[in-house]
Structure 1
């Protein structure tokens, strides 16, 4: 596996390119072009987008090092990614995720699900819990479930939950809706093998749209 940082270069059509990258499906298509095409290849990379000096920047974890066929990117030298982990190890982490809960075999955004369960829409405005608090509570509840399944634990006081966004895009005639939350904090590894799998495969759904990549660093 390789971990690579990419930054969008100056280009005569920079504004149009940035606009395309603002659409989750088009962004996914553009990033897929960074890898040698193979007719039967499935997606074999995870990515996270942020903004650096006003333009998109990406961290990509992939089985193949990216290429730059269109000359749009500054690609830092890919770094081999083979983490050495041990039980009890503490790591700082970043995670942009699509936190969902299943109700009647369907996935629901955890924030909207929490609103529905407490009757948010019918509550008088003065009785509604503050939205940041609701986001934090529902996000941490989801992250606790992921921690149990993926070999880590954390203290809620050491994790920040913010950046809640709802995304809408299209794939042809199909409408795609998903939401994201950003988690930042400190975790402890409880099961190195499970945690390694989480690092390599990502956490949660919507991985094709920039969710699930768990970035960590030693403290």
Structure 2
């Protein structure tokens, strides 16, 4: 397993084309692996248990956008440097091809129970509903931060982690509630929801034809702190992804050490 980071030059026309369409960026990411053949427009299908190619965009600022790629094999992002990076700078420094790739397995092997980490996840929080008895069940996006947090909290234990709760001294609301019938997850947990994006794009060029419906999805980014409850389950989550729309930049969770001075609360 490998984890790669590529900074996107947002002023390049090629970068703007990639950022405008998750389908285009998905195709560019999958083109980073010479042995993978595009059998379908959605890319090669992974095995049920093995690691898969995952990617995520981090919009830290208008001119600071990073692409993260988790993959079973080492990627070659030369084409992305040429389209959406700084190719002249990369050519001038042979030791810096324009992206960074690190082996991921040593980090995954070091995960142990009860350790605490900062995490980031971009996901597609959805649920299945039927508005009327005679209607089929439909997959529908969660649109409010409270419901989006609940979506992640419902999955935490079976994914091998637990979201850290704030100590009472850091909570703004008594007991973490807004009123007697609703839990305000944002005040109870070390968890925030940000950067909600309502995406709509054609799945392929042929889908631009009149009458073809575009792909639509809601992607949100979670930042927070977690405690490892089952290292094996968490490793599986990190390499397989969490939730739907993995081909379109959702599902990749990354961990980072907490500052040495931070309070680590379970």
User: What's the TM-score once normalised by structure 1's chain length?
Assistant: 0.79
How far apart, CA to CA, are the structure 1 residues paired with 2:225 and 2:60?
23
Question: How far apart are residue 52 of structure 1 and its match?
Answer: 6.2
Number of residue pairs aligned between Structure 1 and Structure 2: 194
How far apart, CA to CA, are the structure 1 residues paired with 2:231 and 2:99?
30
Contact kept? 1:18, 1:55, Cα under 8 Å: no
Say if 1:87 and 1:93 are closer, same or farther in 2 by CA, change over 3 A. Answer: same
SS in 1 for 2:3: strand
Question: How far apart are residue 69 of structure 1 and its match?
Answer: 4.3
Aligned to 1:85: 111
Between stretches 32-41 and 191-200, larger displacement belongs to 32-41
How far apart, CA to CA, are the structure 2 residues paired with 1:81 and 1:9?
29
Aligned to 1:109: 141
How far apart, CA to CA, are the structure 1 residues paired with 2:194 and 2:201?
22
Aligned to 1:122: none
How far apart, CA to CA, are the structure 2 residues paired with 1:208 and 1:75?
21
Aligned to 1:163: 195
User: Which of 51, 54, 58 is equivalent to 1:46?
Assistant: 54
Unaligned residue ranges in structure 2 (runs of 5+) = 47-51, 86-97, 131-136, 166-187, 208-212, 259-266
Contact kept? 1:3, 1:81, Cα under 8 Å: no
How far apart, CA to CA, are the structure 2 residues paired with 1:166 and 1:34?
27
Say if 1:52 and 1:185 are closer, same or farther in 2 by CA, change over 3 A. Answer: closer
SS in 2 for 1:78: strand
Displaced runs of 4 or more, over 4 A: none
SS in 1 for 2:198: strand
Contact kept? 2:244, 2:251, Cα under 8 Å: yes
Unaligned residue ranges in structure 1 (runs of 5+) = 112-134
How far apart, CA to CA, are the structure 1 residues paired with 2:145 and 2:201?
26
Say if 1:137 and 1:55 are closer, same or farther in 2 by CA, change over 3 A. Answer: closer
User: Which of 195, 198, 210 is equivalent to 2:237?
Assistant: 198
Question: How far apart are residue 57 of structure 1 and its match?
Answer: 2.0
Aligned to 1:114: none
Q: Deviations over 1:36-80 (max 9, x none)?
A: 143354363111112467154211100111113434251214333
Aligned to 1:121: none
Question: How far apart are residue 16 of structure 1 and its match?
Answer: 3.8
Report the RMSD for the aligned CA atoms in angstroms: 2.2
Matched, 1:95 2:121: yes
Say if 1:52 and 1:87 are closer, same or farther in 2 by CA, change over 3 A. Answer: closer
Question: How far apart are residue 88 of structure 1 and its match?
Answer: 1.1
How far apart, CA to CA, are the structure 2 residues paired with 1:98 and 1:217?
22
Contact kept? 1:7, 1:58, Cα under 8 Å: yes
Larger Rg: 2
User: What's the TM-score once normalised by structure 2's chain length?
Assistant: 0.66
